[in-house]
Amino acid sequence: MDLDSLFKKKDAVSDCYIIDIFSATDNQLQEISNKMGLALDKTEMKRIKDYFQNKHRNPTDIELQALGQAWSEHCCYKSSKVPLKKYIYGIEEKKIVAREDAGVIEFDDDHYYCAALESHNHPSAIEPYGGAATGIGGIVRDVVCMGAQPIAFIDPLFFGPLNLPFKQLSKGVKHPRYLFKGVVDGIRDYGNRIGIPTLSGQVYFHEGYTGNCLVNVGCVGIMRKDEFIHSRAKAPGNVYIYVGGKTGRDGIHGVTFASAELTDESEESSRSAVQVGDPITKEPVIHATLECNKKGLLEGLKDFGGGGLSCVCGELAYSAGLGAEIRLDNIPLKEEGLHPWEIWISESQERMMFLVKPENVEKVLHICKQWDVTAIPIGIVIKEQITRVFYKGEKILEMDMNFLTGGPIYDSCTRPFVQPKTDEHEKKEKSFRMSDLNDVLKKLLSSPNVASKEWVIRQYDHEVRGNTVIKPLQGKLGVESHGDASVLKPLENSFRGIVITADVNPRFMERNPYWGACSAVDEVCRNLVAVGAKPDSLLDCLNFGNPEKPERMGEFYESCRGLGDMARALCLPFVSGNVSFYNESIKTAVPPTPEVLGIGIASDIRKCLTTDFKSEGNPIYLVGKQTEKEMGGSEYYKTYGIDSGIVPKTDTTVLKNCMNGILASIDKNYIVSCHDISEGGIGICLSEMAIGSDIGAVIDLSQISPGLRTDFKLFSESNTRWILEVKHGKHREFESLLKKHHTLFKKIGSTKSNTVIIHDNNVRFVSLSVDDIRNHWKQPIWSLMG
C-alpha cells in the first residue's frame, strides 16, 4: 500500500483523517511520523500501533498529533531524565513548596516567591524578534499560572562574534549582529510593554553560537501564600475555561521543532513553528488571571506551553488522576479552515486555561470581559482517566491518560555517552612573554564579553513596578558600571529583598564541563554574596547539542554532575529548570551551556552593596581562594589566542566559609563596596569598581601567591574570590571577623585619586586613569551596534 492510501477521511463533518497504521509496514510507520511532523521514532510508532490494536481501531490524525506532542523530547525529557535524576534532583527538596511550571519557595512567613527559567533558542535563531518576545511571553505565564505576580525578567543571551565577517556565515545562518539586535528588540518590546522589569541576565559572544544562538528567559514572581494555586484539577465537574488570545497556525510543531537540529532549510520549513507575540493581549490576561485567583475563583490554573491545548488539558487532569472532555467547536480562531488537530496542538501565544467550579463560571467570565479578555468554557473534568475530544458532534480523540499524557517511560533510554576529553587543554602550557600590562588590560576591557553592556541594559525597563532597589548598572550618575546582581524589594511593608543573578562561562564549559558547571554555581553564589544576599535557590537551563551523539551526552552528564555536586554541598535546591537539546547547526554544536540562575535573600535591602568604589582612603582586600595559574578558558588567553591551560576548580568548603565571612562583615556594615572576580580576573574587577565611581586605587600584588607571574596574578580567573572596599577605620574588626569564619584575605591596597596603579614586587605594571579605563570599556558594543 502506498503512503497516501493509508490516510482516509473519518467522516463527512469533522475534517479528521483515520490513519491505517495496522496496514503500515515498519518503514511506513516512520514515514507517517515524518509526513505528519510527529518526530516520533519507529519504536514509538510501534508502541502506538500496539495500543490501538488493543483498542481494535486505527488512530485519527489528531490522536497521533497529540501523541507526537506529548511524547516529544521537549515535553517529557526523554534523554535527560536519567542524568537529572541521578545528579540534580533530591537536593534540599524539603525547601521546595512546589515544582510545576515554576518552582515555589518560601520568601517570608506570609509569602512565596516562584521562579522559572527556560530556553527559546530555535525560534530565536530563525526569527529573533518574535522568538525572543514569545520566550518572554511564555515564561511570564509559567509564573502567573502559579498565582504569582511577576516581578522580574532575566535574559541570558549567547551569540556568535559581532564582528564576524559575512563570508564566514554558512547558508541559512543569520549574522550575530542581526540576531543580537532582533533578540534585544523582541525582549524590549514585549517585556517593557507588559510592565515587568528586566533586571538581570548575561550577554556572551563565542564562535560556537554562530549557527545556533541561545536565548534563555527567566521570570520571578511573588505571591501571598494563600494565592498559590496548583496546575491541576480539584474535582470532576471543574469547568475548563479557555482564556486569552486566539488559536492560529503559528507555533504548530514548536515542540517537535525544538527536538531536532537546525539545518539550512530551517528558515523556510520552520517559520510556522515560531509563534507571534502580542503583549497587549497578554497584559490584561495577567491582570484578569491574577484578579480571578485573588478572589478565590480558580480551582486550577495552567498556561499554554509546548503542545498547546493537548498538553494543557491533559496535564491539568492527569496530575489529579482525572480525565477531560473537551469540545473544540468554540475555540476562537485567528483564521478559518484550521484542522481540528491544528487547533488541538497549536502553540499560539497569550493563552491560559482556568479550571473553575460551575457556580463560579459567570463571575470569572465577567472579570475577563471587563479586561476585554476572551474567556470561553470548553469542557469539563471527568472521573475516568481518559481524554476525549469532540468536534462538530463527532468524537475525534479518545485515549487513556496514562498512555497519552503519562508518556512512555524510557527506563532503557539511557543514551550512550562518552567522557569528555578534558586533559587536552590541560597539557603543558607553552610559555610566552608577558606584554605590557597596560595594553593587556585595555584589550581585555574592550573584549565584548567584558565591555559595557549598557547598550542592552538601557533598552530594557529595569525599574517599572518601582521595586528595583539595586539596579543592573550601578555607581555614580552618568558613569555607572556593571553590578553583580540586582535587588528587588517586592513587598510594601518589608525591607526583605529578592536578589537575582545568572551566569555560566561557556569557555570553561567547552574545556571542562564538570569544573565549568561547578564554576557557574560558584560565580552565581559570589554574585549574590557580593551584594549582601544569602543564596537561597538555583534554576538551570541546560542548553546542549544533539543528545544522540555520545560526546554531547557525555558533556551533559558531566555538567549535571558538577551542578549537583555544588548544589548538594551548598544545600541549594534546583527549584526549576529546562533542558534544551539539539542546539546544533550544520557546522557545530554550541558549547555546553548550563545557564544557572541564582536567587538570594537579603534580609534588609538597606544593607545591600554595589560594586563602585565609595571614597578615597579606604583599604582594599582580596578575599577568598588562593589565586592560581588557572588560565584555561580565560579572557586573557582568549585575547592572546592561547588554547590551553587548566579550567578553574572550586572548593565548596572554602566557598562556604567565604560566603559566611563576607555576609557577616556586610551585616556589620564594615564593607562599602564589593565585586566578584570573574572574566578578566583581578584586573577587570578593580577596573569596574573604579569605572562606576571615578575613584582610582593603588594596588600591590606582592602578597598574592608569591612566585606567580604578575600577568597570571592579575588575570587569572580562579574561583571564589572577591574584591572588597572596607570602611576606613574598620579594617581590624573586619579582619578578625573574617578570621573567625576561616575566610582567607589579603590587604592589597587602598582607594586613591583617579588613577588605577598596580605594583608587583616594587615594579609598577599598570598605571591608567579611570577615564582611560572607562573609554576602553564603554565603547566596543556601542560602536558595533550603533
* Residues identified as active-site: 74, 120
295 touches other proteins (CB under 8 A): no
What is the closest distance, in whole angstroms, from the C-beta atom of residue 60 to other proteins in the complex?
Answer: 38
- In the block, cell 514509538 appears at 44
Q: In what order do the strands lie in the sheet with 394-400?
A: 300-303, 351-356, 239-244, 375-382, 323-327, 386-391, 394-400
Residue 464 half-sphere exposure, CB side, CA atoms within 13 Å? 17
Q: Does residue 176 contact residue 162 with C-beta atoms inside 8 Å?
A: yes
What is the closest distance, in whole angstroms, from the C-beta atom of residue 259 to other proteins in the complex?
Answer: 33
Q: 61-70 and 308-318 helices cross at what angle (nearest 10)?
A: 70
164 touches other proteins (CB under 8 A): no
H or E stretch including 519? helix 513-531
Q: Does residue 622 contact residue 676 with C-beta atoms inside 8 Å?
A: no
Of positions 470, 647, 658, 781, contacts other proteins by CB under 8 A: 470
What is the closest distance, in whole angstroms, from the C-beta atom of residue 318 to other proteins in the complex?
Answer: 33
485 touches other proteins (CB under 8 A): no
The residue type found at 770 is: V
Of 665-694, which residues contact other proteins (CB under 8 A)? 673, 693
Of positions 295, 366, 587, 742, contacts other proteins by CB under 8 A: 366
Show Cβ contacts of residue 211 under 8 Å, excluding neighbours closer than 6 positions. 125, 160, 170, 173, 262, 584, 585, 586, 587, 588
626 touches other proteins (CB under 8 A): no
Show Cβ contacts of residue 409 under 8 Å, excluding neighbours closer than 6 positions. none
Of positions 336, 372, 411, 423, contacts other proteins by CB under 8 A: 372
Listed as own residue / partner, the contacts of 732-738 with beta carbons closer than 8 Å and 24 or more positions apart are 733/668, 733/670, 734/621, 734/665, 734/668, 734/670, 734/671, 737/661, 737/664, 737/665, 737/668, 737/670, 738/623, 738/661, 738/662, 738/665
What is the closest distance, in whole angstroms, from the C-beta atom of residue 778 to other proteins in the complex?
Answer: 12
Of positions 9, 55, 295, 458, contacts other proteins by CB under 8 A: 458
Nearer to other proteins, 243 or 646 (CB): 243
The residue type found at 374 is: T
Nearer to other proteins, 193 or 234 (CB): 193
543 touches other proteins (CB under 8 A): no
> What is the secondary structure of 22-82 as a DSSP string?
TT--HHHHHHHHHHHT----HHHHHHHHHHHHHHTSPPBHHHHHHHHHHTSHHHH-TTTHH
Select the span of 16-24, 351-359, 602-610, 675-683 touching other proteins (CB under 8 A).
602-610
Instruction: Tell me the torsion sign for CA atoms 664, 668, 670, 672.
Output: positive
For residue 204, the cross-strand partners are: 158
Instruction: Tell me the torsion sign for CA atoms 584, 588, 589, 593.
Output: negative
What is the closest distance, in whole angstroms, from the C-beta atom of residue 332 to other proteins in the complex?
Answer: 17
What is the closest distance, in whole angstroms, from the C-beta atom of residue 192 to other proteins in the complex?
Answer: 6
Nearer to other proteins, 337 or 478 (CB): 478
664 touches other proteins (CB under 8 A): no
608 touches other proteins (CB under 8 A): yes
Select the span of 74-82, 123-131, 322-330, 460-468 touching other proteins (CB under 8 A).
460-468
Nearer to other proteins, 389 or 533 (CB): 533
606 touches other proteins (CB under 8 A): yes
Nearer to other proteins, 69 or 474 (CB): 474
What is the closest distance, in whole angstroms, from the C-beta atom of residue 293 to other proteins in the complex?
Answer: 16
Of positions 46, 95, 99, 193, contacts other proteins by CB under 8 A: 193
Of positions 74, 78, 120, 188, contacts other proteins by CB under 8 A: 188
Show Cβ contacts of residue 608 under 8 Å, excluding neighbours closer than 6 positions. 469, 470, 487, 497, 499, 531, 532, 533, 602
What is the closest distance, in whole angstroms, from the C-beta atom of residue 194 to other proteins in the complex?
Answer: 7
478 touches other proteins (CB under 8 A): yes
What is the closest distance, in whole angstroms, from the C-beta atom of residue 468 to other proteins in the complex?
Answer: 7
Nearer to other proteins, 371 or 640 (CB): 371
Select the span of 4-12, 45-53, 453-461, 758-766 touching other proteins (CB under 8 A).
453-461
Q: Does residue 355 contact residue 240 with C-beta atoms inside 8 Å?
A: yes
Please state, in angstroms and rounded to a whole number, the distance separating the CA atoms of residues 59 and 55: 10
Residue 21 half-sphere exposure, CB side, CA atoms within 13 Å? 29
The residue type found at 219 is: C
Of positions 21, 117, 152, 194, contacts other proteins by CB under 8 A: 194
Through-space distance between the first and last CA atoms of the chain, rounded to whole angstroms: 60
Residue 712 C-alpha cell reads as 597570571
Nearer to other proteins, 27 or 370 (CB): 370
Show Cβ contacts of residue 165 under 8 Å, excluding neighbours closer than 6 positions. none
Of positions 336, 359, 423, 492, contacts other proteins by CB under 8 A: 492
Of positions 369, 421, 739, 742, contacts other proteins by CB under 8 A: 369
What is the closest distance, in whole angstroms, from the C-beta atom of residue 473 to other proteins in the complex?
Answer: 8
Please state, in angstroms and rounded to a whole number, the distance separating the CA atoms of residues 242 and 698: 64
370 touches other proteins (CB under 8 A): yes
Of positions 347, 461, 484, 503, contacts other proteins by CB under 8 A: 461
Nearer to other proteins, 100 or 725 (CB): 725
Of positions 612, 717, 725, 735, contacts other proteins by CB under 8 A: 612
195 touches other proteins (CB under 8 A): yes
Of positions 56, 362, 428, 477, contacts other proteins by CB under 8 A: 477
Show Cβ contacts of residue 226 under 8 Å, excluding neighbours closer than 6 positions. none
The residue type found at 107 is: F
460 touches other proteins (CB under 8 A): yes
CB atoms within 10 A of CB 34: 12
CA 463 → CA 238, 457, 469, 533, distances in Å?
39, 11, 9, 20
Of positions 93, 424, 463, 548, contacts other proteins by CB under 8 A: 463
438 touches other proteins (CB under 8 A): no
For residue 619, the cross-strand partners are: 750
Q: Does residue 214 contact residue 593 with C-beta atoms inside 8 Å?
A: yes
Select the span of 81-89, 220-228, 590-598, 601-609 touching other proteins (CB under 8 A).
601-609
**Which parts of 328-371 are beta strand (E)?**
351-356
What is the closest distance, in whole angstroms, from the C-beta atom of residue 367 to other proteins in the complex?
Answer: 10
Select the span of 190-198, 254-262, 436-444, 656-664 touching other proteins (CB under 8 A).
190-198
Of positions 192, 289, 447, 750, contacts other proteins by CB under 8 A: 192
> What is the secondary structure of 408-451 as a DSSP string?
---TT----------HHHHSPPPP-----HHHHHHHHHHSTTTS
Mask for 261-280, x = binds other proteins (CB under 8 A): ------------------xx
Please state, in angstroms and rounded to a whole number, the distance separating the CA atoms of residues 30 and 36: 10
Of positions 327, 471, 568, 638, contacts other proteins by CB under 8 A: 471
Please state, in angstroms and rounded to a whole number, the distance separating the CA atoms of residues 563 and 760: 36
Select the span of 71-79, 241-249, 325-333, 467-475 touching other proteins (CB under 8 A).
467-475
284 touches other proteins (CB under 8 A): yes
DSSP 173: P
Residue 741 C-alpha cell reads as 569564619
How many residues sit close enough to other proteins to count as binding (CB under 8 A)?
Answer: 46
362 touches other proteins (CB under 8 A): no
Of positions 24, 451, 609, 666, contacts other proteins by CB under 8 A: 609
Residues in touch with other proteins (CB under 8 A): 188, 192-195, 279-280, 283-284, 366, 369-372, 457-466, 468-471, 473-478, 480, 489, 492, 605-606, 608-610, 612, 614, 673, 693
